[in-house]
Structure 1
Amino acid sequence: MEKIVFLDRATLAPQIRLRAPRFEHELVEHEKTAADEVTERLTDATIAITNKVPLTQEVLYRLPNLKLIAVAATGTDCIDKAACQRRGIAVSNIRGYALNTVPEHTFALMLALRRNLVAYRNDVLAGVWQKSGQFCFFDHPIHDLGGARLGIIGEGVLGQRVAEIGKAFGMLPMFAAHKGKQDMGPLYTPWPEVLATSDVISIHSPLTLETRNMLAMPEFRAMKRKPLIINTARGGLVDEGALVRALDEGLISGAGFDVADGEPPHPDSPLMRIAGRPNVILTPHVAWASDEAQQALADQLMGNIENFVDGKPTNLVQSAY
């Protein structure tokens, strides 16, 4: 019998169904798990489910029965995969479930900021419309998406979908060549050109040692058209202190972020300090979380576990051998 332990069930909405796998098992669900609770809760587990609870080398070496870590997300940066390889623990993740929800959230942020919806809503609530004395007023600039140059950092399925939607709006998408790389082929626009010519830059990259702080002051200073910066990927891809400085210096026109470097962010973190500005929208890492996408994730999660137990593993990012 397999013992399955879900360390952070609260990372899925309560209305999302987690179906029982088709084999003899015991399933234990914990809403949340602190770092000092992980080892105890996984002591007898053969399969661990985690969304964001880290599984470190120190923990993994104390879990002799663990065979599979089923990550309830696409990103696996919370797992020490090298330690898993040494221990013979497989790691699977979720793929393709966010094809609609993340791009739609990306464009919700983009539209709201390009059209200054937050600023105009605040003005309406403050009575500015009545004071204007006419049917409309023009206190904040409004820009179309049509004709705007859309720089996309990350050419995976989400970046590709953002490009498709951008084309439907009449935007001109460009996939940025990887920072520091040359001659990557016809799909890519050189990194410096994307920085210099984009009206909107949307990030869809994984967080790695190479991509951490990929946008910092040198990059912001190279942005000639004062673009919007949209990040629905991972906190840490953008230097948050530099982002605040870029906004203060007028190097960029706004920021729409669904992620932070440290979640939840500290109340005095750079993003929280600017969250109330009308040209900034900060949402709590929910771009992925439409009900439809969460249910697809939950179904795929249990499918990965069933396939592993059946000896036909799917979505492995780290095999057991």
Structure 2
Amino acid sequence: MQKIVFLDRATLAPQIKLARPTFEHELVEYEHTRADQVAARLDGATIAITNKVPLTAEVIAQLPSLKLVAVAATGTDCVDKEACERHGVKVTNIRGYALNTVPEHTFALMLALRRNLIAYRDDVLNGEWQRSGQFCFFNHAIRDLGGMTLGIIGEGVLGQRVAEIAKAFGMRPLFAAHKGREGLGPLYTPWDEVLATSDIITIHSPLTPQTPGMLAMPEFRAMMRKPLVINTARGGLVDEDALARALEEGLISGIGFDVLSSEPPSGDNPLMRIANRPNVIVTPHVAWASDEAQQALADQLMDNIGGFVRGAPVNIVV
């Protein structure tokens, strides 16, 4: 008998179905779980499912029955993987499910900002079209994507897919060499050159101990073309105070962020302070969350669990 506990089922939409395992099991689902509830809720569990609920070393040490942590996401920074290794607990994650949804959201942000869709929609709602007295008006700049240089930070499957779509728009994609590293091969353009020549910069990197704040004020001052900055990866990759300052100082022309350093954000988050500007779009970490992608994630999640129980584990992180 496997006892499976899903700590944060509400991180998947209600219409997303979890396939029931074919092996003997008990499945317990909690919509949300606070940090002080984790150990009690996982007591006796052999398999834990978490999307964002942290599993710390202290908690893992209290769970002798636990054999698997199935993360319902690609990023596994919510799990203390070293502690899992020490206690013989395997960790799996989800891979490849967001190949369409994240790049499509990335381009939705680009298009909305380049074409000033938010500003024009507000104008229409405020009666500006009627006051203009003609079939159109030009209160805000409208810019094409075609012919623009797109700097891509992160060359994984999502970065590669963004580059493919960019080419279809007639853009010139550049993969940025890793910050502070040289000689990475012909795929890469030097970091400083990407900052200086890009009309739009989009981030598709993981958050690791080496990557927090990879874009900060020195980088924004090096952005000669005042680009849009798009982030559908992880909030901590960008210094948010510096990002807001860069927009206010005219170093960048717009912000499209789906991720913030703390989620949900506090009221004093720098991006919340400027979120009502027409050249700022903040979405609530939903780039990954098309119905199609969520169902693919849920199916892969249960496949990961089934493979582990059968003795043929897949998508093992540790």
TM-score above 0.5, yes or no: yes
Equivalence for 1:250: 250
Paired residues for 1:182-201 under 5 Å: 182-201=182-201
User: Cα distance, 1:233 vs. partner?
Assistant: 0.5
Equivalence for 2:83: 83
Residues 152-174 of structure 1 show CA distances to partners (whole Å, capped at 9, x for unaligned) of 00000000000000000000000
Equivalence for 1:266: 266
Equivalence for 2:3: 3
Q: What amino acid maps onto 1:94 in structure 2?
A: I
Residues 21-73 of structure 1 show CA distances to partners (whole Å, capped at 9, x for unaligned) of 12111000000000000000001000000000000011111111100000000
Residue 28 of structure 1 aligns to a residue whose secondary structure is strand
Residues 191-241 of structure 1 show CA distances to partners (whole Å, capped at 9, x for unaligned) of 000000000001001111111010000000000000000000011111000
Equivalence for 1:311: 311
Q: What amino acid maps onto 1:240 in structure 2?
A: E
User: Cα distance, 1:12 vs. partner?
Assistant: 0.3
Q: Distance in 2 between matches of 1:11 and 1:211?
A: 25
State the TM-score, normalized to the length of structure 2: 0.99
Equivalence for 1:98: 98
Equivalence for 2:20: 20
Q: Distance in 2 between matches of 1:241 and 1:202?
A: 18
Equivalence for 1:68: 68
Residues 48-99 of structure 1 show CA distances to partners (whole Å, capped at 9, x for unaligned) of 0000000001111111110000000000011111111111110000000000
Q: Gaps spanning 5+ residues in structure 2: where?
A: none
Q: What amino acid maps onto 1:35 in structure 2?
A: A
User: Cα distance, 1:135 vs. partner?
Assistant: 1.6
Residue 236 of structure 1 aligns to a residue whose secondary structure is helix
Paired residue total = 318
Q: Distance in 1 between matches of 2:176 and 2:22?
A: 44
Q: What amino acid maps onto 2:82 in structure 1?
A: A
Q: Gaps spanning 5+ residues in structure 1: where?
A: none
Q: What amino acid maps onto 2:79 in structure 1?
A: I
Q: Distance in 1 between matches of 2:267 and 2:125?
A: 26
Structure 1 runs of 4+ aligned residues shifted over 4 Å read: none
Q: What amino acid maps onto 1:268 in structure 2?
A: D
Q: What amino acid maps onto 1:193 in structure 2?
A: E
Q: Distance in 2 between matches of 1:213 and 1:148?
A: 25
